[in-house]
Amino acid sequence: MRTKLLCLVSVAGLASCGGSGAGLDENGRPLTGEPTPLVPELQSIQQNVFTPICAACHAGSSAPLGFRLDDGFSYSMLVNTASVEVPALLRVAPGNPEQSYLIQKLEGHAAVGGQMPLGQAPLPQATIDVIRQWISNGAQAGATPQSAAVSQLRSTMPLDGDSLSRPPREILVEANGELDVAALIAAGITLKRSGGDSTFDDGNEVTIPDVDVSVHSLQPTVLALSLPPERWAPDTYELAFSDRFILQFTVEAVQ
C-alpha cells in the first residue's frame, strides 16, 4: 500500500445551508438551560454554534455533500480538509484563520456561494472572532486520550451502509486519540469491492491496490484514503484496518 504521511486536503466543500435560529440568543446559544460561555475551544464552539445552528442542516447521512457539523464529526470534516467550492482552501487551516474557508463563509467574503448560515442573520462578529481565535491557536480537537486502539477507529465519511451516487474523493477515518500511523499501515489497510454481487464471502472479491493514505491530524488521528477517479467501479466496497471491519458502502455510478 502506497502511503503519504502528509497533512493533505480532502473532499467536500463548505456546503450552503442554515438553520432557523429558533430558540437561540444573539450569539447562537440555546435560550433554555444555564448559559455556557463561548470560548476558543472546539467543545465550546460545538455546543454554542455548530450544534444549535450549523447542524440544523449539516447533520446525518443527508448532510449536503456529506459535510457534517454535528457532534463527533465536525473536527475531521473541518481541520485540514479542503473545500469543494474552492479546493485550494482548507475549511480550517490551523493557525491561519484568514486562509480558512470557514471564516470566509461566516464573514461573507468567500469567492463562491452565500454567507453562512444561509438565509439567516449572520453570526455576530464576536462569535466569529472566537472561532478565529480557535483556528489561530492551532484548531485543536481538545482533550483526547493519549492513545487509541484500532477498535476505536470509525469512518466519518462515508458512513457504514451509505449508497453514493458517485465515488468519494476521500474516505475519512477517525480515532478517538492518537494512533501509531506507521504501525497501523504496516498491519494492513484493505479496501476491496464485492465483484458485483454486494457480498464478501464467496471468493470473487477484488482487492484495490495502491490506495493513497494521508494523515489529516495526529491528535486525534484522522486518516484519509483516496483513489484516482478512473479506478472506481459501480459496486459495493468494504474497508478494513488490520482485518477489523470499518465500513461498507455502495458506489452507484462513476460518472
Q: Which of the given ranges, 8-12, 36-40, 53-57, 135-139, has the highest pLDDT on average?
A: 135-139
Residue 113 cell numbers, joined:
456561494
Which of 92 and 243 is assigned the larger pLDDT? 92
Which of 14 and 46 is assigned the larger pLDDT? 46
Judge whether residue 136 has pLDDT over 90.
Answer: yes
DSSP calls for 132-167? HHHHHTT----S--S---GGG-EEEES-TT-EESS-
Instruction: Please give the mean pLDDT across all residues of the chain.
Output: 83
Q: Which of these, 185, 187, 179, lies nearest to 148 by C-alpha position?
A: 179
3: confidence class by pLDDT, cuts 50, 70, 90: very low
Distance CA 99, CA 103 (A): 8
Mean pLDDT across the stretch 44-59?
92
Helix or strand holding residue 127 (H, E):
helix 125-136
Q: Which of these, 12, 14, 29, lies nearest to 114 by C-alpha position?
A: 14
Domains of the chain with bracketed CATH: 9-143 (no CATH), 150-251 (2.60.40.1220)
Instruction: Please give the share of the chain, as a percent, with pLDDT higher than 70.
Output: 82
Judge whether residue 20 has pLDDT over 70.
Answer: no
Q: Which of these, 200, 196, 251, lies nearest to 229 by C-alpha position?
A: 251
> Model pTM?
0.64
Residue 63 has what pLDDT? Answer: 78
Distance CA 242, CA 200 (A): 17
4: confidence class by pLDDT, cuts 50, 70, 90: very low
16: confidence class by pLDDT, cuts 50, 70, 90: very low
Mean pLDDT across the stretch 109-138?
92
138: confidence class by pLDDT, cuts 50, 70, 90: very high
What would the pLDDT profile of 188-243 be if each residue is shown by its tens digit?
Answer: 899 999 999 999 988 999 999 989 999 998 888 899 999 998 999 999 999 998 88
